[in-house]
Structure 1
Amino acid sequence: MGAKLACPALFISAPASGQGKTTLTAGLARLHLRAGRRVRVFKTGPDFLDPMILARASGAPVLSLDLWMVGEDACRKLLAQAAREADLILIEGVMGLFDGTPSSADLATTFGVPVAAVVSAKSMAQTFGAIAFGLARFRPGLPFHGVLANRVGSARHAQMLQEALPADAPWLGHVASAEMMELPDRHLGLHQAHEIDDLDARIERAADALAQTTLADLPPPIAFTYPSDNVTIPRLLDGRHIAIARDAAFSFLYPANIALLETMGASVSYFSPLADEPAPANADAIFLPGGYPELHASMLARNAQSAASLRAHVSAGKPLVAECGGMLYLLDALTDVAGTRTPMLGLVPGEAVMQRRFAALGMQQLDGAHGALRGHTFHYSRVTTPVAPALVARHAQTGAHGEALYRHGSIAATYMHAYWPSNPAFAAALFHGTAL
């Protein structure tokens, strides 16, 4: 191991999703930012939406931490880099504290980051103490910092909650129910940051509420250590220009993925299909990320200039990589939950139909000529296509078949959201259009 770097750090978790973790993590980040501290926030697991909110709150990019997808050594390096640059590290958990393999508890324990549990106390009294008891004691060795009650109805309610706590679950305070502080959501999770008109006001209200709690106190410093094996990334994309679609329809981008492209020597530019911007004619490769094309299907269908540029790119035999929503845009048509069928680009034969329930969820891995590329899938649509899969992913825990990766001419398309730093050579092959 390399040099140790100490930085105050706190892990914000909960007994389940929907407890208010993102709202309060964002508020806590903004509170410390207002105090003049440099705050770095991380999000546990695969997520594109929460990091948008947290980046807005903290003023810095929000990277993913996951012991499987990112890898322990890579997580260790990211935390050590943050410790060198920041005055406070905050990590928001995923789902409940012990949910998933690996879980938030696994991550917090691996790096010794104390866990503050956020528990929604709406419609609850003394049972709050039982939940806190379980969170604090379920896993021996978990560094437990305390519990904060969210959505509290009154001062008397807060008193009952605090009195119910066991001695080894310190009270970190409470936050009252406040509709104007909560963040709106929809089928894939929270709304995107730019879609919430009063987002900064909501974050400020959360910061103000947390200022009255001991959760706002600066946590103790934690020692983070660089891994001894500091691998140099080869410049596998040296000189290549990669154009990336980025707007409200195509926004699911890991900052670490973009950083990897640049580390490998690529120059990156952006264009908006939703604004009918053409993809740059001089781009060597194009990436269409996931997002919400189904919410903007009619506009995408009307935007002829952007469509013509993508068709020209593919006709020229240049690589085009598409994930999830980006793949839907390439198909012949997309049908929404109301049954409205909208023509898409027609660059990959097949159609997609949106559903009201999710069709796939979980961590997956593609195995190819360059080894394993890890990522995740989460979507509410189903695709039918005559194109045979070039590769089929497998589920992280069960090994069962997962998402297909399709090759159609110079196009590589899949539902799986890949974390490219898990295999830079595989990622480079996608953008070179070479064998996978």
Structure 2
Amino acid sequence: MKVLEFHGEKDEDCLWLSFEGAFDPWAARQSELEPFFRALEAHADGWMPDVAEGKRRRKYAHAAIWKALEEKHSGARTSFGLYRTKWPALDMSFGLWLPPEPPTLDVWLNVKPLSLFADAERCRHFVEMVRAWACQYPVSHALAHSADDVALTGFPDFGRDKETWYRDGFDKVYEVGWLNVFGPRLVETVGRERVLSTPAWRVEELPNGCVLLVTWPTAADFASDEARLAQARAHAHLRPDLDFETVLRTLRERSATLAPVEPRFHPDVAPLLTRVVDRTASYERQRTISGLNAWQPPEPEEWRPADAALPPDVDDLARALEHYGTLAEHLVALLHTKVPSVFDETPESLTDVDFYFWRENFPRSRLRENIEAYAVPAIGAYLGEVLVRNLGGRWIPRQKLEEAQVRVGSRVWLPFVRARHYMASRQALLDYSLTRLYRVAARHRA
């Protein structure tokens, strides 16, 4: 049973929920938890899970849930996942902390696309689901909001060191999201009267002393100025020590950070940078696009005029050329399963290689001595072979690899020198990309 890949090559914003509620660990497990799943089934409008996964995947059913909880029990913790096989996508974890730990029902939920929650009725169902959970399992704090926007807040520590965070938890209202549930302790800290008088779209005191607060009718337009105004008013009301204008300015800055930016990448490396952007976390993507729009790949320096080329200094030209081919095959052997196009030795395969090394952060994730001894020679030889095969280049062998040249038109290129520069850092993989050198060499072929 195949479920949708939630965190794929190009991540996107989603509706995110964090919910931690108390439950009775001594009650019969099924009777204690069935209200949770009945509320989910009643209100998961258009995004109901159809797979429950413990040690293996099963079609969603209560029997599958109890089996998953049994399978994944380890010490004081048991948990399982809930997913979908059809769009929209769901990534949901359900866990229980058991004695001697404080008994806690712990839920993390992500539904995408976020645009699904532009519908007011679907949002109402979501609110009713969380309300039902909070009435049954009293929370200390629960929050549902844009995942990207939450990532910019520093949730859950909000800039505090771990010791302070673990000690104090949600001891004050650090942020207000689209949907919030404040537990009795937090409500009393803020002041119940103040909490209940919060200017918001919906404020409701629950029977167990929790307070449900929804700032705006729909979740998807959280970054609109109207929704930000509502969010700022609620936050400043709950935290009178904060200045409303400062809170609003911070929210507007977050909206600007997430606002779409049109890519205007250098054409030589646009296909590579597009893939880099797609791999970037969605909350960082627009800033990344802005930075790459402003960045220009340096002009390659690893070349000489053809009339300044070093002459061959090897005894056996054929053996030298065979050696370069063997080195290039080492790169094929290293990458062929992750980068199948490496067999082709084309300009497109260079871009695939560039992206692979960037994605893996290869210069930092591998031993430097192995990079110098094996990766640099293999990359340099592979680059040289692509220049030979696709641009009519000709090797000019030298005893020292870094002096070996490939003549293309009126220039000779130094592929091994390029490879060493390339493997210096993750940023160097972009600054000294194989793709960029090839494109420049192609333009100077005549």
- Do both share a fold (TM > 0.5)? no
TM-score range, shorter chain: under 0.3
Q: TM-score, normalised by structure 2?
A: 0.26
Bigger CA radius of gyration: 2
Length-normalised TM-score, structure 1: 0.26
* Greater relative CO, 1 or 2 (CA 8 Å, sep 6+): 1
Structure having the larger proportion of residues in helix: 2
Whichever structure has more strand as a proportion of its residues is 1
